[in-house]
Amino acid sequence: MSSAQQGMNGLTRRQVLVGTAGLVGAASVIGAPAIAQSTGGPLKVGVLLPRSGILAQAGQSCARAEAISATVLKALGYSVEIIPGDTESNTDTARARAEKLINDGAHVLIGAFDSGQTGAAAQVCEQRGIPLIANIAAAPQLTEQGYKTFFRNFPTSLDLVKNAFPLMKDIFATTGKTPSKALFLHANDTFGMANKGAFDKLFPDAGMPFTMLESIAYDPKAQDLSVEVAKAKASGAELLIVTTRAADAILIVREMVKQRFEPMGLMSPGSPGLYDEQFYKVLGKYSDYATTILPGTIRATS
């Protein structure tokens, strides 16, 4: 057995698979009592999340689930110690925090919501022989690099986009409204580019009823997206397909209102921006006509 499979804290890959399970959207882990006993104490779970920075809203939402999980696991009789870590919405920080969590005794890491930050943590965990369970991270390359200690508990961008196409058709059929032209507006981070890559690969054979005009990428840290929205409006797109997070989704919609850009609606193949609580609280009625196609469900406002 390789050192990566055995792990520096004595846990084998098989033990982790049998004794732990990541929950989608929640930073919690269930450890088999046998694992805790074999390590001479509780199963130590490092939970790596963007608790501050531009992704803080999503990270703090996951952290609330983390707090609940500690009580739930104790009631179920599991001996688990949760060690929090903050990526600060930064890839380099995610790498450093992963190192610190492992140095602090974590037997397994969960995180890190963002694909880029998760990738950075995965490199550290692979080097140290510590399992990393991705609670939320869609970039396909995370499970295409041959890592022995990385486990995905979330669909890939290919899955998100592939599942979105038939659901889009269902929505068009139900509403009796079908756009003829669409545009893809997306963040240029790891997740946004992964979704764009999936869209480019799958769209030609998807039999969609609209034409894809172009893709427009933007920096998710930008404070002004007026140019990108103006370009989208000038294209004549009747449907805006987006990959966003909460802060940039709010910027986009505010700019659409300002520029009087009123397509039939916004649709997102699995990105969190349009379904985050912050999006609805900040925009109010302007959050209407935004649809997010999530793994296994549809969240929409109208």
- How many residues comprise the chain? 302
Nearest C-alpha neighbor of 82 from the set 11, 25, 29, 17: 29
CB 110 within 8 A of CB 70: no
Q: Where does residue 297 fall: left (phi above 0), alpha (psi -120 to 50 degrees), or beta otherwise?
A: beta
- What number is the average pLDDT over the span 275-288? 89
Tokens read off for 188? 């240029």
**Model pLDDT, residue 196:** 94
Q: What is the pLDDT of residue 216?
A: 96
Domains and CATH numbers, the chain: 3-152 (3.40.50.2300), 157-300 (3.40.50.2300)
Would you place residue 39 in the very low, low, confident or very high pLDDT band (cuts 50, 70, 90)?
A: low
Burial of 173 per CB tally in 10 Å (0-12, 13-18, 19+): exposed
pLDDT tens per residue, range 51-99: 999 888 888 888 888 888 888 888 888 888 999 999 999 999 999 999 9
Q: What is the pLDDT of residue 14?
A: 36
pTM for the structure as a whole: 0.77
Place of tokens 């690969």: 201
Segment 181-190, tens digit of pLDDT: 999 999 999 9
Nearest CA to 277 among 254, 299, 255? Answer: 299
User: What pLDDT is recorded for position 296?
Assistant: 55
Q: Above 60 in pLDDT, residue 269?
A: yes
Given a contact cutoff of 8 angstroms between Cβ atoms, the answer to whether 218 and 196 are in contact is no
